[in-house]
Amino acid sequence: MALLDILEFPDPRLRTQAKPIEQMDDEVRRLCDDLLETMYEAPGIGLAATQVNVHRRVLVCDVSEDQSQPLVFINPEIVEQSADESTYDEGCLSVPGFYESVDRPDSVVVRALNREGEAFEMQLDGLLATCVQHEIDHLNGKLFVDYISPVKRQRIRAKLEKQHKKRA
């Protein structure tokens, strides 16, 4: 297992469209495990491969209080979504220190492969539905800051760029 480095907004690599996994193998299973380890260490509730600069369609999440319910979604697809929306204050390990309200469908049905490469479908509600939609966005090069006002997004970008310069 390994901790992976997380890309931070506005890194252009976060805009990459991830490619589907064609075949489950040890390398993909290792990626799943490393994503979970990196997410738990952060700590976070969701992490997409895009965020660690691996442009494959893999995401992990765990919204339980005690890190007891790891979920792996490979090649995830939303096959149904509710008309009703809910609003969450979203954050992102790639946008550290910033949280903004985002509206998304309140429940979704997601079809994906698990860590063993088996297909499954899951109905998700509440925070888990929001989290998986947020992570699928990453696989498509999209960030939660794309849903907020350009003024707020620019302010976040400027603050993070300043931090990155200091660190470099």
> What's the CA dihedral at 96, 16, 111, 144 to 10 degrees?
30
Report 105-124 residues binding ligand QAP (CB under 6 A): none
Instruction: Verify binding: residue 39, Co ion, rule CB under 5 A.
Output: no
Rounded to a whole number of angstroms, the minimum distance from the CB of residue 65 to ligand QAP is: 14
Instruction: Verify binding: residue 93, ligand QAP, rule CB under 6 A.
Output: yes
Binders of Co ion: how many residues, by CB under 5 A?
Answer: 1
Which residue, among 129, 150, 45, has the nearest Cα to 87 in the 3D structure? 129
Question: What H or E segment, with its residue span, contains residue 159?
Answer: helix 150-167
Partner interacting with residue 139 (select from Co ion, ligand QAP, none; CB below 5-8 Å by kind) = none
The pattern of x and - marking residues 12 through 51 that bind ligand QAP according to CB under 6 A reads ------------------------------x-xxx-----
Question: What H or E segment, with its residue span, contains residue 107?
Answer: strand 107-113
- Indicate if 135 belongs to the active site: yes
Given 92, 102, 145, 156, the residue binding Co ion (CB under 5 A) = 92
Given 96, 105, 117, 141, the residue binding ligand QAP (CB under 6 A) = 96
Which residue, among 81, 83, 62, 82, has the nearest Cα to 71 in the 3D structure? 62
DSSP state letter for 5: P
Q: Do residues 43 and 6 touch, judged by C-beta distance below 8 A?
A: no
| Placement of tokens 């509710």 in the chain | 82
Partner interacting with residue 97 (select from Co ion, ligand QAP, none; CB below 5-8 Å by kind) = ligand QAP
Partner interacting with residue 117 (select from Co ion, ligand QAP, none; CB below 5-8 Å by kind) = none
In sequence order, the 6+-apart residues with CB closer than 8 A to the CB of 123 are 107, 108, 109
Given 92, 108, 112, 113, the residue binding ligand QAP (CB under 6 A) = 92
List, by residue number, the catalytic residues. 135
